[in-house]
Structure 1
Amino acid sequence: MTLNSSKIYALVLNPWIVIGSLVLGGAAGLLFPGESQRLVVLSDIYVDLLKMTTLPFMISAVIFSLQRLFRDGGASRLLLRVVTVFAGASAIVAVVGAIVLLLLDPGANLSSSTMHTFGVMVGGDATSSDTVMSLYGTDIPPKSLSFTDVLTSLVPTNIFAALANGDALKALVFALLFGLAVGRVPERISVGLSQSLETVYHACQKLMHWLSYPLPLILFCMSAAQLGKSGVGPLHAMLQFVIAFFVTAVLLLVLAVVVIWKRSNQRLGVTLDALRAPFALALATRNSAACMPSMIETLVDGLGFARSRVELLVPLAVSLLRVGPMVYYVCATLFIAQLYGHTLGVVEVCTVLLASVLAGFASAGMTGLVTVSLIGMTCAYLQLPFEAAFILFLAVDPVCDMLRTLILVIGNAAAVSMICPRPLKI
Structure 2
Amino acid sequence: MKLNSARIYALAVNPWVIFASLGLGVSVGLVLPREAQHLAFIGDIYVDLLKMTTLPFMISAVIFSLQRLFRDGGTSKLLLRVVTVFIGASAIVSLIGAIVLIVMSPGSNLSSETMQTFGLMVGSDSSSNNTVMNLYGTDVPEKTLSFATLLTSLVPTNIFAALANGDALKALVFALLFGLAVGRVPERISTGLSQALETVYHACQKLMHWLSYLLPIILFCMSAAQFGKSGVEPLHAMLQFVLAFFIASVMLLVLAAVIIWKRSGGTLATALDALRAPFALALATRNSAACMPSMIESLVDGLGFARSRVELLVPLTISLLRVGPMVYYVCATLFIAQLYGHTLGVVEVVTVLLASVLAGFASAGMTGLVTVSLVGMTCAYLRLPFEAAFILFLAVDPLCDMLRTLILVIGNAAAVSVICPRPLKI
**What are the residue-to-residue correspondences of 1:30-69 with 2, within 5 Å?**
30-69=30-69
Distance 1:177 1:64 in 2: 12
* Distance apart, 1:268 and its partner CA: 4.9
Q: 1:418 aligns with which of 414, 418, 425?
A: 414
Question: What whole-Å deviation, never above 9, does each CA across 1:308-363 have from its counterpart, x for those lacking one?
Answer: 445544554459974233223444555667x9xx9xxxxx9978854643564587
Distance 2:30 2:195 in 1: 51
**What are the residue-to-residue correspondences of 1:215-226 with 2, within 5 Å?**
215-226=215-226
Distance 1:20 1:254 in 2: 27
Structure 2 match to 1:97: 101
**What are the residue-to-residue correspondences of 1:297-312 with 2, within 5 Å?**
297-301=289-293, 303-304=295-296, 308-312=312-316
Distance 2:115 2:338 in 1: 17
Change (3 A) 1:271 1:401: same
**What are the residue-to-residue correspondences of 1:379-390 with 2, within 5 Å?**
none
Are 1:23 and 2:15 counterparts?
no
Q: 2:109 aligns with which of 107, 112, 124?
A: 107
Distance 2:50 2:58 in 1: 13
Kept after mapping to 1: 8 A contact 2:94/2:353: yes
Structure 1 match to 2:80: 76
Task: Using the aligned pairs only, state the percent identity.
Answer: 44
> Structure 2: which 5+ runs fail to align?
134-139, 261-271, 298-309, 363-372
Aligned-pair Cα RMSD in Å: 4.3
1:271 partner amino acid: F
Change (3 A) 1:255 1:298: farther
Kept after mapping to 2: 8 A contact 1:320/1:361: no
Distance 1:123 1:53 in 2: 30
Structure 2 match to 1:379: none
Distance 1:28 1:408 in 2: 30
Structure 2 match to 1:169: 169
Distance 2:167 2:107 in 1: 37
SS at match of 1:420: helix
Structure 1 match to 2:91: 87
Distance 2:155 2:84 in 1: 23
* Distance apart, 1:420 and its partner CA: 2.8
Distance 2:92 2:323 in 1: 17
Change (3 A) 1:228 1:209: same
Change (3 A) 1:228 1:123: closer
Q: 2:244 aligns with which of 241, 244, 248?
A: 248
Structure 2 match to 1:383: none
SS at match of 1:204: helix
Change (3 A) 1:43 1:120: closer
* Pairs aligned (count): 371
Change (3 A) 1:134 1:418: same
Structure 2 match to 1:398: 391
Are 1:231 and 2:231 counterparts?
yes
- Using structure 1 for the length normalisation, give the TM-score: 0.70
Kept after mapping to 2: 8 A contact 1:333/1:352: no
Change (3 A) 1:408 1:155: farther
> Structure 1: which 5+ runs fail to align?
126-130, 279-293, 343-347, 377-389
- Using structure 2 for the length normalisation, give the TM-score: 0.70
Kept after mapping to 1: 8 A contact 2:330/2:353: yes
* Distance apart, 1:89 and its partner CA: 0.5
SS at match of 2:185: coil
SS at match of 1:39: helix
1:60 partner amino acid: S
Kept after mapping to 1: 8 A contact 2:108/2:338: no
Kept after mapping to 1: 8 A contact 2:223/2:391: no
* Distance apart, 1:395 and its partner CA: 5.2
Change (3 A) 1:97 1:52: same
Q: 2:330 aligns with which of 305, 326, 331?
A: 326
Distance 1:114 1:269 in 2: 41
**What are the residue-to-residue correspondences of 1:344-383 with 2, within 5 Å?**
354=350, 356-358=352-354, 360=356, 367=374, 371-372=378-379, 374-375=381-382
Kept after mapping to 1: 8 A contact 2:22/2:395: no
Distance 1:23 1:77 in 2: 47
Kept after mapping to 1: 8 A contact 2:253/2:410: yes
Distance 1:157 1:13 in 2: 39
Q: Which moved more, 1:33-42 or 1:326-335?
A: 326-335
* Distance apart, 1:155 and its partner CA: 1.6
Question: What whole-Å deviation, never above 9, does each CA across 1:229-276 have from its counterpart, x for those lacking one?
Answer: 22235x27xx4x433222112333455667788969666576344455
Distance 1:41 1:314 in 2: 34
* Distance apart, 1:28 and its partner CA: 0.9
2:109 partner amino acid: G
SS at match of 2:67: helix
Question: What whole-Å deviation, never above 9, does each CA across 1:370-420 have from its counterpart, x for those lacking one?
Answer: 6446456xxxxxxxxxxxxx78x8754531466688476665555434323
* Distance apart, 1:188 and its partner CA: 1.4
